Amino acid sequence: MACGRMDLQRAGPPLDMANSETSEPTQPEARQFRVTHNRRRRRQRLLLLCAAFAILIAVMLASALWLGSKALFIKSELESAMTLVPVVKSDVIQDRPVDASDAVKKLTAHVSAARNAADDPLWTVASAIPGLGGNFAAVTEITRSAGDLTSLGIVPLVKALDGLQWESLVPGSPKTDLQPLRDASPTVASAAHAIRASVQRLNGIETGSLLPQVTQPLSLAKDQLSSIADALDGAADVARLAPPMLGDATPRTYLLVVQNNAESRASGGIPGALAEISFREGKMTLGAQSSASDIGVMSPPLVVEPEQRQIYSSRIGKFFQDVNLTPDFPTTAATARAMWERKTGNRVDGVISIDPVALSYILEATGPIAISNPDLLSLTNGSNLPTKLNADNVVRTLLSDAYANIEQPKNQDAYFAGVAQEIFGAINGGKGGAKSLVAGIVRATSEGRVLLWSASTQEQDVLAKYPVSGSISGSSISPAQFGIYFNDGTGAKMDYYVKRSVQLIEECEAHGYGRIRVRITSTNTAPTNAATALSSYVTGAGAFGVPAGSVQTNITAYGPVQSNIETALVAGEKTGFAANRHSSRPVGTLTIRLAPGQSQTVEFAFGKIVQHTKPVVAVTPTVQALKDVVLETKSATCAPPA
């Protein structure tokens, strides 16, 4: 019987007629009466059930529509909030506190609206529904994490940074003041902890039963929060380490090493100018200056750890010019410090490395610098060397023109050191905008052109988490990180003319493991008459068995831990290579030689790469911009391991 339908023909007489006093029912009539009465009662119950079901359907439809509208509202508010995060970041970096505060207010309003919507009682009830409920609960957790990001991370961070003055953050600036940075440290650390806790809660959400409409924003939220947490962790470490490392309580002295990219070494270039740089309460001064050649030969040589001695020879511990044959900067820095102290008797608290390209980034901030040092001016008299250095000419001047205009290597070293002194003197004098100066240093650091090592074990443990440490192992190294490093084998300054590119090429193998080829292309752009057109100091004049004008390079390739090097190719032909291990990473080395105008392509094939992390590659900083050296990875999608 359908809901709402009455079969009057089979219903029998009306109830009042069945109970009429004028007719005494017979036994059959009484039985008929009971049947009819029961039918009516069942029909009434069915009608009530149908009505209740209809009401339930209506309520469910209304609830679904309401929940759908709430979901769209939450999605819209969270998207609006996320668009404001980079706005806040930009305002903070550009030192616009009023704009940053306005953006934070809007961000807070959007996040609060989304969070309130997800805290609605009906949404909470929906979260308990078997099956679909997990989707509502996941959205609720996303809104709570967004709320934590805003209230516990961004809002207090912006307030703390509002008290910082950019000029006070520049070492050597007359306005240097480390107190605001010390004051901000606890706030930044607390914000980092809060966001990291939110990330952990999101990572704990079971995604197997979630709808794609939920898993996608959940994944995005986890990625963005993780990125922000990483940035906050870094900011917290900087706020904690910077004051003591800048001589807040006790003066600090570091050995400054200027690497010369015209003669490549794994971490950049052969060490050239050396100087002591001291900090007292953030104020910077330059002290004793020298050059790598002045250090002389270490006798007896310093001990070199066996793995690296096998790959790079014991020269690392014998000649200052070779301390960075290894790409592991902690090894380089500790060795350089020991050599400096043995030679000069001066103890230093750490080592800072920089190259001429990094100096050009600094000059972008300071503007042109007129050479005022009389010794430098005497070297430039009668030459084509500029009397003003700027971002456009400093690299060419230091890595090429100086060799064409200054004959004696000792004078070349003096010129190199003098230019570095002029640039650091300009920083110390407060020349240039603080924001652009910090931006230039950050850019140089991101390209591996500024490296830092501390003799303090506690400080170095923190530095080791970041690329600025120049480590080849540890937490700063991605699980799928490759490394391509160049060491000059010419014994000259010809790397100024070499252009290189490095590219990762992904392939798939059986069982879900990947195979990655690392392709390195090198070109000698020196003029065809380089042997006579360039000075013998630049070409090497064949002193080490390499024809003048040619460039010989030892290329060293590192793979991720647990991978292995299967083959090496030169110009498409299989070739032998020296195979080793360094900190559980596979290492392969081979040598190429390029005549002027010649190009050569080398490939190392690595196997057993687990495809769970995006592969990246670290490369020796060269004269070229990093973006021109590291090409985009050719990717492949591999099935997960069985």
pLDDT at res. 56: 54
The answer to whether residue 400 is domain-embedded is yes
pLDDT band at 328 (very low <50, low <70, confident <90, very high): very high
Which of the pair, 156 or 614, is modelled with greater confidence? 614
pLDDT average, residue stretch 227-249: 83
Judgement on whether residues 450 and 517 belong to the same structural domain of the protein:
no
Q: What is the pLDDT of residues 500-534, one digit of tens each?
A: 999 999 887 655 567 899 999 999 999 999 999 99
The answer to whether residue 29 is domain-embedded is no
Q: Which of 13-22, 105-114, 583-592 has the highest mean pLDDT?
A: 583-592
Last residue within a domain, chosen from 191, 217, 245? 245
The DSSP-derived string for 75-98 is HHHHHHHHHHHHHHHHHHHTT-HH
pLDDT band at 170 (very low <50, low <70, confident <90, very high): low
**Mean per-residue pLDDT of the chain:** 83
pLDDT at res. 342: 96
Cα distances (angstroms) measured from residue 209 to each of 206, 440, 624 = 7, 47, 50
Judgement on whether residues 421 and 395 belong to the same structural domain of the protein:
yes
Does the structure show a pLDDT above 80 at 636? Answer: no
The answer to whether residue 471 is domain-embedded is no
Which of the pair, 344 or 614, is modelled with greater confidence? 344
Q: What's the rounded Cα separation, in Å, for the pair 476 and 468?
A: 9
Residue pair 225/147 in contact (Cβ under 8 Å)? The answer is no
Judgement on whether residues 235 and 270 belong to the same structural domain of the protein:
no
Q: What's the rounded Cα separation, in Å, for the pair 176 and 479?
A: 39
β-strand pairing of 350-354 with 252-265: parallel
**Nearest CA among 525, 516, 524 for reference residue 484:** 516
pLDDT band at 52 (very low <50, low <70, confident <90, very high): low
β-strand pairing of 481-488 with 498-508: unpaired
**Nearest CA among 110, 65, 66, 61 for reference residue 85:** 110
The percentage of residues in the chain with a pLDDT greater than 70, rounded to a whole number, is 80
Q: What is the pLDDT of residues 295-317, one digit of tens each?
A: 999 999 999 999 999 999 999 99
Q: What is the pLDDT of residues 66-85, one digit of tens each?
A: 455 667 777 777 778 777 77
Tokens linked to 331: 């090894």
341-350, 375-384, 414-423, 500-509, range with the lowest pLDDT: 375-384
Give the containing element (helix H, strand E) for 57: helix 27-93
Judgement on whether residues 203 and 336 belong to the same structural domain of the protein:
no
pLDDT average, residue stretch 477-504: 96
Domain CATH code at residue 563: 2.60.40
pLDDT band at 7 (very low <50, low <70, confident <90, very high): very low
Task: Match 């392939």 to its residue by tokens.
Answer: 507
32-41, 279-288, 536-545, range with the lowest pLDDT: 32-41
pLDDT band at 344 (very low <50, low <70, confident <90, very high): very high
For the chain, the first-to-last Cα distance in angstroms comes to 57
Burial 84-122 (b: 16+ CB within 10 A, else e): bbebbbebbeebebeebeebbeebbebbbbbbebbeeee
Does the structure show a pLDDT above 50 at 86? Answer: yes
Which of the pair, 44 or 547, is modelled with greater confidence? 547
Which of the pair, 348 or 280, is modelled with greater confidence? 348
pLDDT at res. 192: 78
pLDDT at res. 301: 96
The answer to whether residue 135 is domain-embedded is yes
pLDDT at res. 34: 65
Judgement on whether residues 79 and 118 belong to the same structural domain of the protein:
yes
Judgement on whether residues 263 and 189 belong to the same structural domain of the protein:
no
Does the structure show a pLDDT above 70 at 542? Answer: yes
Does the structure show a pLDDT above 50 at 14? Answer: no
Q: Count up the domains in the chain and report the number.
A: 3
Does the structure show a pLDDT above 50 at 461? Answer: yes
pLDDT at res. 69: 66
pLDDT at res. 341: 96
Domain CATH code at residue 415: 3.40.630
**Nearest CA among 263, 261, 199, 257 for reference residue 230:** 199
pLDDT average, residue stretch 559-587: 95
The answer to whether residue 12 is domain-embedded is no
pLDDT band at 32 (very low <50, low <70, confident <90, very high): low
To 10 degrees, the CA torsion angle through 81, 86, 92, 96? -80
pLDDT average, residue stretch 150-172: 68
Judgement on whether residues 447 and 514 belong to the same structural domain of the protein:
no
pLDDT band at 185 (very low <50, low <70, confident <90, very high): confident
The answer to whether residue 3 is domain-embedded is no
Judgement on whether residues 447 and 506 belong to the same structural domain of the protein:
no
Judgement on whether residues 188 and 266 belong to the same structural domain of the protein:
no
pLDDT at res. 168: 62
pLDDT average, residue stretch 569-589: 96
pLDDT band at 15 (very low <50, low <70, confident <90, very high): very low
pLDDT average, residue stretch 323-333: 98
Judgement on whether residues 449 and 531 belong to the same structural domain of the protein:
no
The answer to whether residue 159 is domain-embedded is yes
pLDDT at res. 11: 44
Judgement on whether residues 559 and 411 belong to the same structural domain of the protein:
no
Domain range enclosing 332: 252-454
Judgement on whether residues 371 and 446 belong to the same structural domain of the protein:
yes
The answer to whether residue 616 is domain-embedded is yes
3-state secondary structure 239-260: HHHHHHHCCCCCCEEEEEEEEE
pLDDT band at 21 (very low <50, low <70, confident <90, very high): very low
Last residue within a domain, chosen from 245, 268, 285? 245
Does the structure show a pLDDT above 80 at 544? Answer: yes
